[in-house]
Amino acid sequence: MTTEPKESAQRLAILGSTGSIGTQTLEVVRRHPDRFAVEVLAAGTQTGRLIEQALEFQPNAVVIGEAGYGKVRDALASTDIKVFAGDEALNEVCAFDTVDTVVTAVMGGMGLRPTLTAVAHRKKIALANKETLVMGGLLVREAVARYGTVVNPIDSEHSAIFQCLQGEPEAGVEKLILTGSGGPFRGRTRENLRDVRPEQALKHPTWRMGRKISIDSATLMNKGLELIEAAHLFGVRPENIDVVIHPQSIVHSLVQFRDGSVKAQLGLPDMKGPILYALSSPDRLPESAAQTPRLSLSQIGSLTFEEADRENFPCLALAEAAARAGGGMPCVLNAANEVAVAAYLNEEIGFMDIPALIEQRLEAAGADAVKRGRDLDDLLALDAEVRAATREAIEKHNL
């Protein structure tokens, strides 16, 4: 495709461009070349894919993890594309004058610092990395208020709520209702969850996603993290956010207003919808039915809803408790979860050890952690302490 971006094209820095959301963001750019241009691509370890993307989209700069620097630099030597490496570079590209919007689609807690930098430089944020808000939601909210920028959600549930809230005064909102598919193990009990293996957990019934989020989805931690994310994004207390299981993933979430009316946003499960809306809102850009198949309710037939099972999936209840406690508790929850999920994927621990480890860390952190994390340094220190303690518990089999 040779279409040149218009002067008015929104210039994107895509952090995590080789991951699931990153590659789908580039698909959205391919479909709307007059509206979006790629200024920066950043990836961790997937050098081959980053090089391909850079050659296709011709960004001003790319960032890769330290280990891949030589390979990417050599491959792009004959182009004008600048090549940087490492976390500091990831942070610096977020401050580039030539970037309008930062798409944060990196994995886990590493999204926080670059997001704060982007906010401080008044970039629009399209946020796919929920851990950023779970860990540092208070800091991000403060910074967004101070610098007057916006954070548009890419998570499908939050995009749904964001769409339902368009044109609605904040005071009218009574409750948010997050839907979740229930994951691949819906209906199972603790007993027969004990021995489920990572490859089973990675098979999500309705969404295609990265490995970490697929495990979070299987434990229902994903819904818990989304509840914390929603509280920060929309300024709603955790007590006023409900979760309902909806296996078909057609109703992406709902808002209940104080007059009793409820609005929902619907669509087939496809992350390109939320990505496009995060970038284009309040505009709606045309997508053909071949690109975005239209929803046929009569073909789907029935939509079902059920209560979330907190008894057999304790991660959701743990996240709700951490959200209500507030302060540094969600950071503790997130750090313990990231380490536990990595250990599960590595087959060091069992599926039900994930909630056990998190509960252990939340209890150990206690009331003290609620007061922690008021600034970035303390938050990162708390995060590191909890990661180390979780690692230690795994190595000592202290579960």
Task: Kindly list the residues in this chain that would bind Mg ion in the complex (CB under 5 A).
Answer: 155-157
Q: Which is nearer to Mg ion, 157 or 309 (CB)?
A: 157
Q: Copy the structure tokens of residue 94.
A: 């977020």
Q: Which is nearer to Mg ion, 264 or 370 (CB)?
A: 264
- What's the DSSP call for residue 44? S
Nearest approach, Cβ of residue 275 and Mg ion (Å): 12
Nearest approach, Cβ of residue 52 and Mg ion (Å): 27
Nearest approach, Cβ of residue 135 and Mg ion (Å): 17
Q: Which is nearer to Mg ion, 155 or 383 (CB)?
A: 155
Q: Which is nearer to Mg ion, 44 or 153 (CB)?
A: 153
Nearest approach, Cβ of residue 322 and Mg ion (Å): 18
User: Each residue of 82-121: b (16+ CB within 10 Å) or e?
Assistant: ebbbeeebbbbbbebeebbbbbbbbbbbbbbbbbbbbbee
CA distance 218 to 203: 9
Nearest approach, Cβ of residue 11 and Mg ion (Å): 27
CA 53 from centroid of its chain's CA atoms: 22
Q: Which is nearer to Mg ion, 53 or 156 (CB)?
A: 156
Q: Under DSSP, is residue 391 helix (H, G, I), strand (E, B) or coil?
A: helix
Q: Which is nearer to Mg ion, 306 or 392 (CB)?
A: 306
Query: Alpha-carbon torsion 19, 24, 30, 33, what sign?
Result: negative
Cis status of the peptide bond prior to 282, with omega within 30 of 0: yes
Nearest approach, Cβ of residue 9 and Mg ion (Å): 28
CB 35 within 8 A of CB 285: yes
Q: Which is nearer to Mg ion, 223 or 361 (CB)?
A: 223
Q: Which is nearer to Mg ion, 229 or 353 (CB)?
A: 229
Q: Which residue has the tokens 């922690």?
A: 372
CB 128 within 8 A of CB 151: no
Q: How far is CA 392 from CA 3, 74, 107, 337, 356, in A?
A: 54, 40, 22, 14, 14
Residue nearest to Mg ion (CB): 155
Q: Under DSSP, is residue 101 helix (H, G, I), strand (E, B) or coil?
A: strand
Nearest approach, Cβ of residue 168 and Mg ion (Å): 21
Nearest approach, Cβ of residue 44 and Mg ion (Å): 21
Q: Which residue has the tokens 């994390």?
A: 373
Q: What share of the chain is helix, strand, coil (3-state, %, to 5)?
A: 50, 15, 35
